[in-house]
Structure 1
Amino acid sequence: MAVHSKDEALTCKVFPFSLGLVVMRWFDGLRANSINSFKKLTQAFGSRFITCSRVPRPLDSLLSLTIRERETLKTYPNRYWEMYNKIDGEFDDVAISTFKVGLPAEHCLRKSLTGKPVTNMIQLMDRIDKYKRVEEDQQQGKCKAKVIL
Structure 2
Amino acid sequence: MALHPKDEALMCKVFPSNLGPVTMRWFDSLRANSIDSFKELTWAFGSHFITCTKVPRPIDSVLCLSMQEGETLKTYSDRYWEMFNEIDGDFEDMAISTFKVGLPTEHSLRKSLIGKPITSVRQLMDRIDKYKRVEEDQQQGKGKAKVILQ
- Whole-Å Cα distance in 2 between the matches of residues 141 and 95 of structure 1? 31
Deviations 1:12-70 (A, max 9, x none): 12334534223432x227x64xx443223212221122111232111111112111111
Structure 1 moving runs of 4+ over 4 Å: 1-6
The aligned residue for residue 39 of structure 2 is: 39
Gaps of 5+ in 1: 143-149
Question: In the alignment, what sits opposite 1:28?
Answer: 31
- 1:103: which partner in 2? 103
The residue that corresponds to 1:145 in the other structure is none
The one-letter code matched in structure 1 to 2:58 is P
RMSD (Å), alpha carbons:
2.3
Q: Check 1:3–1:92 CA distance in 2 against 1; reply closer, same or farther (3 A cut).
A: farther
Q: TM-score, normalised by structure 1?
A: 0.80
Matched ranges for 1:83-122 at <5 A: 83-122=83-122
Partner of residue 48, structure 1: 48
Q: Deviations over 1:92-140 (max 9, x none)?
A: 0001111001101111111111111110011001111111121122222
Q: State the one-letter code of the partner of 2:92.
A: D
1:90/1:71 Cα in 2 relative to 1: closer, same or farther (>3 Å)?
A: same
Q: TM-score, normalised by structure 2?
A: 0.79
Q: Which runs of 5+ in 2 are unaligned?
A: 143-150
Looking at structure 1, the residues matched to 3 and 124 of structure 2 have their Cα atoms a distance apart, in angstroms, of 40
Number of residue pairs aligned between Structure 1 and Structure 2: 138
